[in-house]
Chain A
Amino acid sequence: MYDIIIIGSGIIGSMLAYDLSRFNVSVCVLEKNVEIMNEVSSSNSGLVHVGYDPEDGTLKAQLNLIGAKRYPQIAKDLNVDYKQVGSLLVSNSMDEHEALLKYAQRATQRKIDVKYIQQDEIRRMEPNISDSVLEALFFPTTAIITPWQMGFACMNFAVLNGVKLFRQTKVIGIDKNEYYTVHTTQGVFESKCVINCTGLNGVDVAKYHDPNSKHQLEFRKGEYQVSDIRDESYLNHVIYPMPSKLGKGVLALKTIEGNLMFGPTSYVIDNRYDFSTTVNGLNEVDSKISQIIKPLAKNRMIRQFAGVRPGSVTKDFIIENKDGFINVIGIDSPGLASAPGISEYVIESFLKKDFELESKMNLVDFKWKKHLSSNERNELIKDDSRYGRIVCVCETISEKEIMNAIHLPVGARSIKGVKRITRPGSGRCQGGFCESEVVRILARELNVDMKDIPYDNDVFLTPLGGHDETR
């Protein structure tokens, strides 16, 4: 019996686990996938928006501000990457002037740093800005993070501090008697309270609790293109176009690691697991991005991907407590930026009323291992030469760093997991050189055969997966 069951380990589940692990409540997290942070939370822009665009009076507006405010401290505590790179909201025509002023005014009301700038200054700050850009708002506090790094760090902290994580554990039904009984593919879990933060499946899980739930989600797919890190100097800030009713629009940013990322498009889709890229989508990214920055050579692109955002038809987050069953659904943009705000809101508004939350003493510290500098690496090699055996040449990742990723409290179990935690396969060769070595290390460390190492859920090296006898 747990006090609280969190269903889903995307950024919301991970952030709640992180926050709750500091209180004297028993918490477990149920995740259906082999890795955490695996769906909506892994395929987005990775931005901590400052929060000028959500409409007044919405949860989005309220929680984005709190989230953006909390991130620097969380990043510091967990030693994860967080970089205030600043952003430019640019306008291409005088028709957009009014809207620009509206956002400036709203930002000021919300106490967000903002500065109106004109062409010369825009070009000085961003030499590769499109010629058609006329004016811009500069938001110095817009930040970038690596979403899965943030989520993994939160969940690792949580697990070190008593939260139980069950992976490959899919919820298939929920009963309420005196307590909640959560039926899963791995057996039954019981708790006093359940938090539903299941992203794409939010409404389905809500209906396990209340078959009459009227919530409705709309799934929007967004396609992205990613460049090689050698173009790092091409861009300095996040560049946003003017928002529209489709969302924030196709934006340009540089990731923590230095890849340029362009996207997302925004299309309503029927199949919520449609993570495919399309010719039209990628072309749309090209044409829209050229309105805000000068185009980058096509052959610099190393990857394309799509993310799916589960938005509520009400256009706001749905966060509600129904008799100890808390729905946190419809978390689309700015979900990542708002996550710490959402977690705080759930705890302050609901959980503090149902539980006597007392802070735990003697928390175990968890620090994310960031990418090593040459000096740090040289020191570490003295103790373990495997820090000097580079497996991923594109991103300079050693055998020992891959081993560390596997042996975290919430460690990688798949090629995708290793890639997220420590980046081999994210570079320009896309795993062409190092993938087999990564699989070999995973197999050795987890003591299984190479063919039984998953890429992702139930997908293995050979087509017959873990059952292939023909080797």
Chain B
Amino acid sequence: MRHVKCVVIGGGSAGLAAAIQLKKYNIDCLLLEKEDVLGGILNQCIHNGFGLTRFKEELTGPSYAERLVSEFHDLGIEFELDSTVIKLNSDKSIEYINPKGVHKIQAESIVLALGARERTRGNIMIPGDRSVGVWTAGSAQKYLNIDGYCVGKRVFILGSGDIGLIMARRMTIAKAKVVGVAEIMPYSNGLTRNLVQCLYDYDIPLYLSTTITRINGNGRVQSIELSRVDENLKPLSGTEFNIEVDTVLLSVGLIPDNIITENAGIEMDPRTKGPKINQYYETSIPGIFACGNGLHIHDVVDFVSEEGDMVAKSVERYLNQLGKSDLSIPVNSDSNFIYVLPQTIDKSQAVKLKFRVKRPLKNVKLVIRTKDEIIMTLPKTQLLPAELEMITLPLPLIDKIQDEVRLEIIA
């Protein structure tokens, strides 16, 4: 069986960054990509807005990917395309399929850069007819931007996440009529710039606290029934109204795609839907690391790549057995948070905490405490679920930590 120092699974914005950084640490790696081209989902994201942090300029998705891919090729990193990993084992052996055969290799370390998949109609159980014309926003984006087919004429979009907003604009440019966007929450989950540039600029109505309660149409979609929802997100009877459309696009959330991770027996976090990690992005199996949208869902690709960079550093640390620590201090949070990463830390170095809140919060204090002692208080004028927050705990504060780190929000 072939031995490899490090295998990177996934050739998108996280995996490419990780592989590039690994090469810079002189670590030989093999990158496996399931598609026939590197770059991942960026290839179908032809709009701009990428790269402001990483490349200090505004790029389209394919240009952002191209930057990473050309650096990757310049460094002569080994990769295989059309390669689908079917099994990840806890001993860090990997089975994958590609047009050359079914292969098994032994890795010394593994970087999971698996990306995410979209929630489907079945996941959120929209009742109604079994109509054709219901796609996830990303599938419609692929049909339009890769294959050149606009899948709808009169389109309704459920979910005001960024992909939904981007597709509202994209379908409009492709001469479809986007009749509206519905969001079950009382606020949009997209970035403000996308709300302005993709909806307001095109006069596309946004229905807040509203969801689709039925899809109608034997054969093609003919109409949808929308309902207002109460504070528990339950549809309010009597508020139903119908809109005639031929297509429904769903932008109702991304799920880190972790089937091989789960099957390997790696501990998962039900909140992120990704693996649990320590501050080195290391999963419950030593030597297996995770980053990017396969770890948790990001809103900006630059931070996806940054996680790739960080993971490479951890792989180097792992392979050279630097500073091994058995200390595992849990990072917890109160009910205002969807999640906080990492799930555990040791006390050896500064830690970047990443978190998302459950609902928009204004003029609050973010408190970081350990046992009874508050170690940091940060005033926050605004916290939004749509925006991933990051704060660094410097070493002097880390020293104060006892058996727990806890994030809380106080008014």
Contacts and interface: CB of A to CB of B under 8 A. Distances in A.
Interface of A: 226, 230, 273, 275-279, 281-282, 299, 301-306, 374-375, 377-378, 381-382, 385-386, 388-390, 393-394, 396, 398, 428-433, 435-436, 439-440, 450-451, 455-459, 461-464, 470-471
Given A276-B214, A374-B97, A459-B132, 14 more contacts: A226-B122, A278-B127, A279-B213, A302-B123, A381-B99, A381-B101, A385-B99, A388-B97, A388-B100, A393-B34, A393-B84, A430-B121, A432-B139, A439-B147
A390 B97 contact: yes
Contacts of A463: 133, 151-154, 220, 246-247
A303 B122 contact: yes
Contacts, number: 135
Contacts of A279: 127, 213
B117 interface: yes
A273 B263 contact: no
Nearest to A384: B99
Contacts of A275: 129-130, 218
B114 to A, nearest CB: 10
Given A276-B129, A436-B142, A396 B97 contact: yes
A199 B236 CA distance: 38
Most chain B Cβ neighbours within 10 Å, of A304, A396, A439:
A304
B396 interface: no
Interface string B184-197: 00000000000000
B95 interface: yes
Contacts of A430: 120-122
B52 interface: no
A458 B123 contact: no
A470 B149 CA distance: 10
B411 interface: no
B117 A301 contact: no
B55 interface: no
A137 to B, nearest CB: 33
Given A276-B129, A282-B125, A389 B82 contact: yes
Contacts of B246: 463
12 contacts: A230-B262, A277-B130, A304-B125, A374-B86, A378-B101, A388-B97, A389-B99, A390-B97, A432-B135, A436-B146, A451-B149, A463-B151
Contacts of A375: 102
Contacts of B150: 462, 470-471
Closest 9 CB pairs of A and B: A385-B99, A303-B122, A390-B84, A463-B246, A388-B99, A378-B102, A430-B120, A459-B132, A455-B132
A325 to B, nearest CB: 30
Nearest to B218: A273
Contacts of A301: 122-123, 125
A126 B150 CA distance: 48
Nearest to B36: A389
Contacts of A304: 122, 125, 127
Interface of B: 34, 36, 82, 84, 86, 95, 97-102, 117-118, 120-123, 125, 127-130, 132-133, 135-136, 138-139, 142-143, 146-154, 175, 213-214, 218-220, 246-247, 259, 262-263
Contact of B139 (A277, A396, A435, A457): A435
B1 to A, nearest CB: 14
Most chain A Cβ neighbours within 10 Å, of B95, B125, B148, B175:
B125
Nearest to A373: B102
A5 B233 CA distance: 54
Contacts of B151: 461-463
Nearest to B245: A463
Contacts of A299: 123
Contacts of A306: 130
A163 B214 CA distance: 42
Contact of A431 (B133, B139, B147, B262): B139
Contact of B147 (A428, A436, A457): A436
A304 B126 CA distance: 9
Contacts of B95: 374
A429 B139 CA distance: 10
Given A374-B102, A378-B102, A390-B84, A276 B120 contact: no
A146 B95 CA distance: 28
A429 B34 CA distance: 15
Contacts of A394: 259
Contact of B219 (A432, A435, A456, A461): A456
Contact of B118 (A276, A429, A461, A464): A429
Contacts of B125: 277, 282, 301, 304
Contacts of B98: 388-389
Given A277-B127, A303-B122, A461 B149 contact: yes
Given A302-B123, A463-B153, A470 B175 contact: yes
A199 to B, nearest CB: 16
A97 B150 CA distance: 59
Contacts of B34: 390, 393
A375 B86 CA distance: 13
Contacts of B132: 455-456, 459
A282 B127 CA distance: 8
A301 B34 CA distance: 25
Nearest to B153: A463
A348 to B, nearest CB: 38
A377 B102 CA distance: 7
B288 to A, nearest CB: 19
Nearest to A454: B132
B179 to A, nearest CB: 13
Contacts of A393: 34, 84
A440 B147 CA distance: 9
A386 B147 contact: no
B102 A388 contact: yes
A458 B219 contact: yes
A276 B130 contact: yes
B262 A276 contact: no
Nearest to A435: B139
A331 B34 CA distance: 45
B294 to A, nearest CB: 13
Contacts of A450: 147, 149
A430 B250 CA distance: 13
A429 B117 contact: yes
A386 B246 CA distance: 35
A466 to B, nearest CB: 13
Contacts of B259: 230, 394, 428
A390 B262 CA distance: 20
A458 B219 CA distance: 8
B319 to A, nearest CB: 29
Contacts of A386: 99
A434 B295 CA distance: 22
B28 to A, nearest CB: 24
A278 B102 CA distance: 43
Nearest to B148: A471
B358 to A, nearest CB: 17
B324 to A, nearest CB: 33
A302 B125 CA distance: 8
B217 to A, nearest CB: 9
A305 B130 contact: yes
A381 B102 contact: yes
B323 to A, nearest CB: 36
Nearest to A306: B130
B101 A382 contact: yes
A255 to B, nearest CB: 15
Nearest to B100: A388
Given A304-B122, A378-B102, A464-B153, A457 B148 contact: no
A299 B153 CA distance: 31
A309 to B, nearest CB: 16
B263 A230 contact: yes
Most chain A Cβ neighbours within 10 Å, of B86, B98, B130:
B130
Contacts of B214: 276
